[in-house]
Amino acid sequence: MKYTKLLGILFTLTLVNTAQAVKNPIDIDFYAGRLAYENLYSELTKQPGAFISPLSNRDMSEIVELGRRNLKWLDHLNQFRRSPLRFTSKETQGASPIDQPKKYGPKTIFPDFENLKATLPIELYKVLFTKFELPNSLPTSDKAYIHWGRQINRLYQTSVRWLTLSRWLPWYKQNRQNDIRGYYFLSQYENLESKLKNWASLEGHEKQILSPLLINLCESGNSSWSRCPREFKNSQSNVKSFFNRHIQKAKRAYDINFKLNVKRMDLSWNHSNLASLPFREPKTKAIKDFLKINIEDEWRLHDWKLTLNFSTSASVRAIFKPNVTPNVNGLGGNIITMNSLNSLDDYNTQWTIRHEFGHVLGFPDCYVEFYDEHQQLMINYQIDVNNLMCSRRGRLLITHLEELKRVYQQE
């Protein structure tokens, strides 16, 4: 789902030529749907030793096998039910707010697995931790099954994600420059200027709060971020000056997550409250209805709305292919690629087309993921869980409309 931000950084990796700029190895947000993680699993199985976790050198195959059996049982049960069971829905979409980031790696995955084994109801344990034939009905209530099934599924997906991303730790370590939490929290800090001016007399506990935020302010948007702790240490006599040196760069690094830096020439919006964009006529009415209903339903706010004008010659189009991660070919791109195996009635599919259309208009993703070498964990968060381009819980906001007006509306 994520539109890759090119860092232009060269890494020495065994599978990548050193003269080639390395891109983000996967393109999905943390809470992507089942098929996205099924694709990751499928790719993992092609690699020798794929389930041995880098860094810890521990085998995660038991966790992955549990997750696979959990999904297999779900599919099996649904063959015998009128109302299918689901682990995800619009109401249960996960999120990683900026103040509660998702942290994961072997240090969290294995303890979570041991805790799961110790607390899983015995009726479910007997089914999921054996290789016996799967039962046709549940030994527990639907509610209890869904509760535990979701936990297992999230642990499975987290493990598959770690096993995939951890092969690219140099990239994710460098991606720390996209961490904007220092700017975000400092911009809301009460009486910050006074505290920075009087740093020497500041109480120790407040210094402990502010110091990592100030270091991160230096790291934001900075390819040389690793020098920031030393620079901060050497600036203790004038912390305000340190702040002033980095605040504007950090602000730009934050703003880029929400700004339109491209302008489509085929989008029209004059002085009315109606914008329109030509869109390639789909091959079937079902797909046309899916596009029109979801995109036009999302991209409207107050008395403003955007409509799709279908034609056989429009540049913007949606194509459907099996086993692909949904994407757009660049910010302001013309081709939305969707996974044809996903049902058009599924919430994740409907959210995805609404989100990907934002990339067509030029909006970037606004979620962050990087590897913290000190904690030995991946850090993942969504800058604003209410924002359509950040989170599956998000929607179109007034800030989107303001950006669209700034870029697209003719004066």
Taking the CA atoms of residue 348, residue 107, residue 16 and residue 29 in that order, the dihedral angle to the nearest 10 degrees is 10
Segment 283-324, tens digit of pLDDT: 999 999 999 999 999 999 999 999 999 999 999 999 999 988
Q: Are 131 and 190 contained in the same domain?
A: no
- pLDDT confidence of residue 377: 97
- Domain's final residue, options 255, 284, 314: 255
pLDDT at 410 over 70: no
Residue 12 pLDDT > 50, yes or no?
Answer: no
Domain count, the chain: 3
Neighbours of 133 (CB within 10 A): 8
**Residue 26's pLDDT is what?**
72
Q: Is residue 232 predicted with pLDDT exceeding 90?
A: yes
pLDDT at 261: 87
In a domain, 2, yes or no: no
Residues 151 and 209 occupy one common structural domain: no
**pLDDT tens column, 173-186:** 999 999 999 999 99
CATH classification of the domain holding 354? 3.40.390.10
* Residue 64 neighbours by CB under 8 Å, 6+ apart: 41, 51, 156, 159, 160, 163
19: confidence class by pLDDT, cuts 50, 70, 90:
very low
- Give the residues across from 378 on adjacent strands: 104, 371
Is 5's pLDDT higher than 80? no
Residue 18 is predicted with a pLDDT of 28
Whether residues 152 and 232 share a domain: the answer is: no
Q: What is the pLDDT at residue 24?
A: 60
168 plus 205 within the same structural domain? no
The predicted-structure confidence for 165-215, as pLDDT tens digits, reads as follows: 999 999 999 999 999 999 999 999 999 999 999 999 999 999 999 999 999
Q: What is the pLDDT of residue 244?
A: 97
Residue 389 lies in a domain: no
CA distance 152 to 129: 12
Beta strands in 212-271 (DSSP E): none
Per residue in 120-146, pLDDT (tens digit) is 999 999 999 998 999 999 999 999 999
Q: Is the pLDDT of residue 259 over 80?
A: yes
> What's the number of CA atoms in the CB half-sphere (13 Å) around residue 117?
10
Tell me the pLDDT band of 270, cut-offs 50, 70 and 90: confident
Is pTM beyond 0.85 here? yes
Q: Per-residue b/e over 135-168, b at no fewer than 16 CB within 10 Å? A: eeebeeeeeebbebbbbbbbbbbbbbbbbbbbbb
Q: What pLDDT digit, counting tens, does each position of 102-121 carry?
A: 999 999 999 999 999 999 99
More confident residue, 383 or 5: 383
- Residue 228, amino acid: C
Is 373 within a domain? no
Q: Would 116 be classed as within a structural domain?
A: yes
Question: Based on the domain organization, do 83 and 197 belong to the same domain?
Answer: no
DSSP, collapsed to helix, strand or coil, labels residue 221 as: coil
* Residues 158, 58 within the same domain: yes
Q: What's the pLDDT at 22?
A: 42
Residues 210 and 282 in one domain: no
Is the domain of 309 the same as that of 357?
Answer: yes
- pLDDT tier for residue 28 given thresholds of 50, 70 and 90: confident
Give the span between the Cα atoms of 126 and 92, in whole angstroms. Answer: 27
pLDDT band at 81 (very low <50, low <70, confident <90, very high): very high
pLDDT at residue 272, as a whole number: 83
Residue 114 sits in the same domain as residue 192: no
Among the three residues 150, 172, 194, which one is the final residue of a domain in this structure?
A: 172
On average, the pLDDT of the chain sits at 91
Residue 246: domain span? 181-255
> Are residue 156 and residue 221 in the same domain, yes or no?
no
Q: Tell whether 207 and 133 lie within a shared domain.
A: no
Among 224, 255, 286, the domain boundary falls at 255
Evaluate whether residue 302 is within a structural domain: yes
Per-residue model confidence as pLDDT tens digits over 324-360: 889 999 999 999 999 999 999 989 999 999 999 999 9
Beta bridge partners of 274: 305
Q: How many Cα atoms are found within 13 Å in the side-chain-facing hemisphere of 42? A: 9
Question: Residue 400 domain-assigned?
Answer: no
Q: Is residue 268 part of a domain?
A: no
Calculate what percentage of the chain has a pLDDT beyond 90: 84
C-alpha 16/C-alpha 30 separation (Å) is 25
Residue 8 domain-assigned (yes or no): no
**What was the pLDDT predicted at 296?**
97
- Tell me, yes or no, whether 153 and 213 share the same domain: no
Q: Residue 266 pLDDT more than 70?
A: yes
Query: Which residue in 205, 274, 217, 223 sits closest to 246, CA to CA?
Result: 217
